[in-house]
Amino acid sequence: MITHVGSINVDYIVHNKRLPMPGETVFGDSLSMAIGGKGAIQIGAVARLGVPTCFISMMGELDPNLPLLKSDLAWAGVNCERIGMAKDMLCGSAFVMVEESGANAISIVHAADRAVTPEYVEQNRDVIRDAKVVMTEFMPPMETCEYAMKMAKEYGAVTIVNPAPVKEIPDGFYQYIDIITPNESEAAGYCGFAVDDEKSAAEACAFFHGKGVKNVVITLGGRGAFVSDGQRTEMVEAYKVKAVDTTGAGDSFNAGLAVAIWKDKDLFTAAKFANAVSSVSVQRKGSFRSIPTYEEVAQVFAL
């Protein structure tokens, strides 16, 4: 089983010919709503790839979009038994603008995501104990993420941390991270220098290794991912496809990585599979319903 401690959002998605500049108003071509949140997309993708899941998260009881969220999670096959209901709150929300090139801009309101507390993780200790891989991202409170990863290491699980959005990571947290997966801008936010090529990606990996992280995977958009296990580094090239919508591409990548690790593949093979998952997802609109099945991904790269 793969357990995720993370967020659920309602995504409000506007498709534009291009993104507006600061202070500029542009007309959108279409508006849609869908399930979002890095946690929901990642665990949804894990489930679509055929691995048993459990999701520790929170919805807001006041949100009128609960049927939409529950329907999408059911479509993906996510085990939702450990999703709680936060009193007097709305669900987390994301406001997403996507331009024709596939580039996007996102603004997030946390709301019920903040109710994913260490106490709530403790109440669900059994599904961390029983997991082979435990994942998190930084939309829940930082203390929750650290508490969950520490607990996962106590039970011998592999921990995967997607450090997004960028927040200050306590030095003590790093020791509980087996694999960290920032993109280039997030890596720059933590390291303090631009990460835009293989040389700077290697330097960023060295930064995280120096903090105590065993394995580092830095996603570099359409170029692929730079991977380091502390002994070996490799630039894992992306698959060349025509992107329709890159929203959620990193989350699909993280799911693919987790599934390959769950299947006992090495880090470099896992990154190749993760690239394949992402390459299929970006050829479709949306961040959740674009998630592929294992059979679809296997036509590109099979484990």
The catalytic residues are 251
The residues, ordered by sequence, that sit 6+ positions from 138 with a Cβ below 8 Å of its Cβ are 145, 162, 163, 164, 165, 166, 167
Preceding amide of 165 cis, omega within 30: yes
Q: Are 176 and 146 in contact (CB under 8 A)?
A: yes
Helices and strands (DSSP H and E) totals, the chain: 10, 13
Q: Please, what sign has the CA dihedral across residues 287, 291, 297, 301?
A: positive
For residue 166, the tally of other CB atoms under 10 A from its CB is 14
